[in-house]
Chain A
């Protein structure tokens, strides 16, 4: 029995290496600038709209953070959004807002909370002159964290809306 289990483990380890090999080939198509968050934003922006000015996206804040269990914009988030709104008014492409939550609380409640946050950003944009039809909101709840672990700093990074 023990011998068998060991063999199976080796087999799995072997295949894991193979699979890792496949995965790294796969990533070649998504740019070489490493695995940091910036590359993701660039990638998605490219996919969504050619009207986005990649240079502007790099310089402006694209992530807006929230307080625990809250969906109201903080002063800091509003300021960052104002800068984005100025930029977005010069473009016509679609705007995707992805809402997220930290891991505390149930997954379904958190996905609703993420949506509330994305809508709060969408409302603010609409009030400030970005036409509604350009804005799409999607909530990922706690399913797509950017930080891991159980600390307040982790949680605060995950409570966010990302502009794509």
Chain B
């Protein structure tokens, strides 16, 4: 009984982490953001919607940094479909595109949005869409509309229906800390607790199909790697070796898990076959080898090693075991993640004693620093490679932040209390 109450309380409390205080700081990008108006959606009489769909779409597009949504107070009308649009009104407001829509309930329990994207300059409808969802998922409906509009106007697949994993640590007095593994929509809404512990939780990561996660938990008073099925909730312990059990990373085909074990002395990279549980040692060096990440082809891994004296990124071919160093700029490069095209890395780069998130172009061997705060870590790239999430500190607390891959857009997702860290951006989920 007592346990049940605590669980319920914990879930209610977790609502308090909701990243409602989203602070968007848009630094000017390479191009001016596209002015767009998302007109509040009309609705069929009798349709009750718990969320403001147009407002969610507006926030999504704003956060991408590529759009500058018009404030509602400046709108001269509230058209619900293309026939109600007076183009010259929108033109006088300097808007390039207008989105209008109507919500209907085609059958009980279903919510439908019929919407149109209009080009003010050509006075044409450029996209007509109709999306429906179960009526308890209005936010998902809004993110679907955002994805379609974003794709139409940028030719990049939208990632507004993705999710993120992260870890929160809340000090509870004395030496007690409560650790939680959380999952939320990418805008911080719909947060849920996936695992809750008095001992540290680290390194959450997604399977490529988004149906499983893996992470490190110290619940047994030692680190061990666990895999959890998000659909069934089934949790499985993958390792419990002496020493480090860290940095799990699913292979691109989802059949293997790269990880770091120090069972034979020093930390080395291993690959486990998830079906058989068999282990293959990938690196073998007395230095620290850690933070493995797969290249998109699944044939090689990158990892951090201090075998050269300072942490740098190396690449290892799985079939030959051949290792080559791939970062040379700066004396600290670590926790790299590969961009989807395999041509670039995002990593933690130390410059003048401060830790920043940087992008390294592997072909030109150029490093571009994206963040200007100190103690930036754990970069995780969106599946469409438009942005990345990372952890930093703000006001003495651990917070999550996002930056566009060109450094032009930044925003913070602060937690109201406790420290949050280790964001992991999901793959596309549909």
Contact = CB atoms under 8 A, between A and B. Distances in A.
Nearest to B334: A106
Contact of A103 (B288, B306, B375): B375
Contacts of A149: 396
A154 to B, nearest CB: 11
B16 A138 contact: no
A40 interface: yes
Q: Which of A107, A140, A144 has the most CB of B within 10 A?
A: A107
Interface in A13-33: 15-16, 18-20, 22-24, 27
A45 interface: no
Contacts of B202: 107-108, 111, 141, 143
Contacts, number: 115
A35 B173 contact: yes
A149 B398 CA distance: 11
A8 interface: yes
Contacts of A39: 174
A139 B20 CA distance: 35
B177 to A, nearest CB: 8
A138 to B, nearest CB: 6
Which bracket fits the contact residues of B?
Answer: 35 or more
Given A116-B288, A138-B223, A107 B13 contact: no
Contact of B221 (A18, A20, A106, A138): A138
B334 A105 contact: yes
Interface SS of chain A: helix
B243 A27 contact: no
Given A106-B304, A137-B243, 18 more contacts: A15-B9, A15-B12, A15-B13, A19-B10, A22-B9, A24-B173, A35-B175, A40-B174, A105-B332, A106-B291, A106-B348, A108-B260, A108-B335, A109-B290, A109-B335, A143-B200, A143-B202, A144-B177
Interface of B: 5-6, 9-10, 12-13, 15-16, 20, 169, 172-177, 200, 202-203, 218, 221-223, 243-244, 246-247, 260, 262, 267, 288, 290-291, 304, 306, 311, 332, 334-335, 348, 355, 374-375, 377-378, 393, 396, 421-422
A27 B178 CA distance: 14
Given A18-B9, A19-B9, A115-B267, A108 B15 contact: no
Interface string A54-89: 000000000000000000000000000000000000
B291 A115 contact: no
A46 to B, nearest CB: 14
B291 A144 contact: no
A140 B288 contact: no
A50 interface: no
A106 B15 contact: no
A12 interface: yes
A7 interface: no
A37 B175 contact: yes
Contacts of B174: 27, 34-35, 39-40
B15 A115 contact: no
A107 B377 contact: yes
Kindly list the 9 A-B residue pairs having the minimum CB-CB distance in the complex, ordered from nearest.
A35-B174, A143-B200, A112-B288, A106-B335, A106-B334, A12-B16, A108-B290, A112-B267, A108-B291
A16 B264 CA distance: 45
A150 interface: yes
A3 to B, nearest CB: 14
B6 to A, nearest CB: 6
A92 B119 CA distance: 80
24 contacts: A11-B12, A12-B13, A19-B6, A19-B13, A22-B6, A23-B176, A27-B173, A35-B174, A104-B355, A105-B348, A105-B355, A107-B378, A109-B288, A109-B290, A109-B304, A109-B306, A109-B334, A111-B223, A112-B262, A115-B262, A137-B243, A138-B222, A146-B175, A149-B396
